Chain A
Amino acid sequence: AIRMTQSPSSLSASTGDRVTITCRASQGISSYLAWYQQKPGKAPKLLIYAASTLQSGVPSRFSGSGSGTDFTLTISCLQSEDFATYYCQQYYSYPLSFGQGTKLEIK
């Protein structure tokens, strides 16, 4: 099974900041990676797929990059609605797997 490891586990930032979250796969997964945003009490929301393709309707301040084993999610200018928990997910092979999550909090 492929293990996904995110860093950091939590992050404090201010509105307007640029933040980057890292996701590392235990083996190469090409670009078969998705990112999700989850707010408290809500279901996850798809942000990015194929490592760098923005899902329809997602603001352009979100971007993704990487391939192989190392990936990043960047939010270029944090807005108040971006404070949430973010998860990466590999779909290179079964079982599908998620990272443990990164909680983005207001500083």
Chain B
Amino acid sequence: EVQLVESGGVVVQPGGSLRLSCAASGFTFDDYTMHWVRQAPGKGLEWVSLISWDGGSTYYADSVKGRFTISRDNSKNSLYLQMNSLRTEDTALYYCAKDIYRGTYFDYWGQGTLVTVSS
């Protein structure tokens, strides 16, 4: 059974930094592209970033480019999102999502971790 478990969400002040983690199990992690998708309270889904199976390719939404960095450790079956220069508009539930293969759509999602940016 595929499981994705996010962690690291907390309350942080504007301008602060945070690192989210996603622990994956139930599939061959290093075969798949992985994503972060977020959802602000009461709002829709926003794709944030993806990383290829080997970490060699990354892509970002314009809204986070230059501030967020996605990474992965295939030896630990883990996905990460380093979030710097946080803004109030980054407040959201952050989902880790598994790609069906190499950078398209998402067949499994975690339950999310809540990041609140507030002074």
Number of residues on chain A facing chain B (CB within 8 A): 23
Question: Could you count the A-B residue pairs with CB atoms below 8 Å apart for me: how many are there?
Answer: 54
Chain A residues within an 8 Å CB radius of B60: 95
Label chain A's interface by main secondary structure. Answer: loop
Q: Contacts A43-B95, A100-B44 hold; do A95 and B112 have CB atoms under 8 A apart?
A: no
Contact B50 A96, beta carbon cutoff 8 Å: yes
Tell me, yes or no, whether A99 is within 8 Å of chain B by CB. Answer: yes
Contact in complex: A99, B44 (CB < 8 Å) = yes
Q: How far is the CA of A46 from the CA of B109 in the complex (A)?
A: 9
* Nearest CB on B from A74, distance (A): 19
Q: Is the CB of A55 closer than 8 A to any CB of chain B? A: yes
Tell whether, in the assembled complex, residue B109 and residue A89 are in contact, meaning their CB atoms are under 8 Å apart: no
Query: Among residues 87 to 118 in chain B, which have CB atoms less than 8 Å away from a CB atom of chain A?
Result: 95, 100, 103-107, 109-112
Determine if B105 and A95 form an interchain contact, defined as CB atoms under 8 angstroms apart.
no
> B34-67 CB contact bits vs A (8 Å, 1 = yes)?
0100000000111100100000000111100000
- The interface size bin for chain B is 20 to 34
B61 touching A87 by the CB < 8 A rule? no
- Is A98 on the interface with B (CB-CB < 8 A)? yes
**Residue contact B44 to A101, C-beta cutoff 8 Å:** yes
Residues from chain A with a CB closer than 8 A to the CB of B44 are 87, 98-101
Asked if A83 CB lies within 8 Å of chain B CBs, one says no
Name A's B-contacting residues (CB within 8 A).
1, 32, 34, 36, 38, 42-46, 49, 55, 87, 89, 91, 94-101
* 18 contacting pairs across A/B (C-beta < 8 A): A1-B62, A34-B104, A36-B45, A42-B111, A43-B109, A43-B111, A43-B112, A44-B95, A44-B106, A55-B107, A87-B45, A89-B45, A91-B105, A97-B47, A98-B45, A99-B44, A100-B44, A101-B44
